[in-house]
Structure 1
Amino acid sequence: MKRFLILLMTLGIVVACEKSETTNQEADRERLNKMRQEIMDRIDAIPCENAEDWRPEALGSKACGGPKEYIPYPQAADESGELLDSIKAYNAAEAEFNKKYKIVSDCMAIMPPKGVRCEDGKPVLYGSPITDDETK
C-alpha cells in the first residue's frame, strides 16, 4: 500500500509538471504572437510612399536556424531604431522559445526578397518565390 501511494504521488507530480510545461509553452507562444502583431501593426501604420525608404528584414527564427519570413521594414521612418530593436528582440525570443521547448522545423532556407515596392500606399516584398513571381 505504501509503494502504491508513492507511485501514485510520483505519477501525479509528473502529470502536473507536464501540464505546467504545456501551459507555459502556450503562454510563451501567446507572448510571441503578441510581439509579432505589435511589430506588424506598427509597420502597417506607416504609409509606403518611396520604396527606397524600405528594405526586407528577417522576422522570426526557425528551430534549425535562419528566419521564418521576411517583412518590409521602414528604414527611413525608424530613425530611432526602436522598431528594428523590437524585431531583433522578437527574433531572439523566438529562438529561445524554440530551444526551451525543443521545437522542430522544416529547416528549409528562406531566401530574402530582392526588395520592397509601394503598391496603393502599402509596402510589398518582391523577388521572392513566396511573395510573387518576377513578372510584376
Structure 2
Amino acid sequence: MKTKLLLVACSFLFLSMQCDDDNDSGITPEMLNNKKQEIISYINSFNCSESSNCNYIAFGAKPCGGPREFLTFPSSVDLPTLQTMVDEYFEMDNAYNIQTGAVSDCAIVNPPSTMDCVNGNCIIIN
C-alpha cells in the first residue's frame, strides 16, 4: 500500500512540475510574422526613385547574436518610426529565442553591399 501511495504522490509531483505550453504571455511565430508584415507594409508605403535613395536596417535576433537579416527601405521612410518598429520586433524575436531555447548556425549575416530601386522598391542585389 505504501508503494502505491508513494507512486501516486510522485505522479502528482511530476505532473505539477510540467511546463504549460499554453502560456498566454509567450511569443508565437504568428505574432512574429504579423509584426514583420506590419514593418514590411510600412516600408512598402514609401517609394524610391533611384538606388541612392535606398538604405538598410538590421532586422531580427539570431540566438547567437546579430541580426537574422537586413531590410532595405527608401530614404523617404520616417527613420525613428521604422527604428521603433524594428526594435519592438527585435525584442519579440529575442524573447521567442529564449522562450523556445532556439539555436542557430551562428553565421554572421553581412549587410547588403549593393541595393537598387526597382519599381519604386529598394531591393538587395546579390
TM-score (normalizing by structure 2): 0.81
Unaligned regions of 5+ residues in structure 1, if any? 127-131
Compute the RMSD of aligned alpha carbons: 2.3
Q: For residues 74 and 85 of structure 1, what CA distance do their matches in structure 2 show?
A: 16
Q: 1:56, 1:113 within 8 Å by CA — same for their partners in 2?
A: yes
User: Percent identity over the alignment?
Assistant: 26
Q: 2:74, 2:121 within 8 Å by CA — same for their partners in 1?
A: no
Q: How many residues are treated as equivalent by the alignment?
A: 122
CA deviation profile, 1:72-104 (whole Å, cap 9, x unmatched):
12333215x112210122113212322343211
1:56 counterpart residue number? 56
Structure 1 residues 36 and 69: alpha-carbon distance in aligned structure 2, compared to 1, 3 A threshold: same
Q: For residues 108 and 23 of structure 1, what CA distance do their matches in structure 2 show?
A: 32
Q: Pairwise mapping of residues 103-122 of structure 1 onto structure 2 (< 5 A)?
A: 103-122=102-121
Task: Identify the structure with bigger relative contact order (alpha carbons < 8 Å, sequence gap 6+).
Answer: 2
User: In the alignment, which of 5, 9, 13 is matched to residue 6 of structure 1?
Assistant: 9
Q: For residues 96 and 46 of structure 1, what CA distance do their matches in structure 2 show?
A: 30
TM-score (normalizing by structure 1): 0.76
Q: For residues 121 and 75 of structure 1, what CA distance do their matches in structure 2 show?
A: 12
